Amino acid sequence: MSAFGVAMGGLTKKERDRFANLTVRDGYTVMRREDLRPLMTEEDFHSLRRAWDDLYLDTELADGGKYRYRRYGRLAVEVTEQGVRFAPLPHATFRQDVIPLWQGKDRAFAPISEEVLLSTGMRALVGFDAQLASAVSGRTSWTVGIHLVRVIAPLGAVGKPTPEGRHRDGHLFVGMHLLRRDNCEGGVSTVYPEQREPVSLTLTDPLDSMFVDDNRVMHEVSPTRAVEGDGIRDMLLVDLNAPGAE
């Protein structure tokens, strides 16, 4: 890789293996703030979170809503014994033909700057997801899609984290990391494992996260509502794909 940052990871192999084993068993795993807090310093976390204050309106929403803001970027990621390597990839449109609502549409989103893509906090979270995906699958090379998403629920209205409803994303694995949740109620995540009862939970604290094997589970998030002022829910979504199979 011609340009890359290296993340060694702030969790032990034993801790990563625990989440990998849960993913193998259930098709998903949940990490709470205290689990991922060792990945970065408080300064690096707040530096990363500031990127959500510079997003653009998502004009691709099928319902014409103005409740979602986002940016999109891509990385080539290689998991090695020495750490995780990253290289920015050219900006591109985003396509999800597996979801009927978006089928046949090349959606265009504002790019994420290279500075944010290769920031310490971003590399920590994306590197963790890539290591987890590699532990589950044995694959070491990934093309990764990065989505910075803010859903706003004005007072008296709702925000829709998943306007497509229950769905798969069409990737191998997906990491979902909460960066901010202010003045919100709702936003309940439900996972639908194969041949098992649905599991519902709420990501409430910054760095609360989920990781899913996208071929094995479906998921959705209920609408958010403002408690006072604007309700804000900021997410980092990390799509992991085989190179050339986006």
Ordered by where they begin, the domains of the chain are 6-241 (2.60.120.620)
User: Phi-psi region for residue 156, left (φ > 0), alpha (ψ -120 to 50) or beta?
Assistant: left
Give the Cα separation of 79 and 99 in Å (integer).
29
Give the Cα separation of 117 and 123 in Å (integer).
7
Closest listed residue to residue 92, CA positions, set 78, 72, 77, 76: 72
Please write the tens of the pLDDT for every residue from 188-215.
Answer: 999 999 888 999 999 999 999 999 999 9
Give the Cα separation of 129 and 15 in Å (integer).
13
pTM score: 0.94
Please write the tens of the pLDDT for every residue from 17-76.
Answer: 999 999 999 999 999 999 999 999 999 999 999 999 999 999 888 888 899 999 999 999
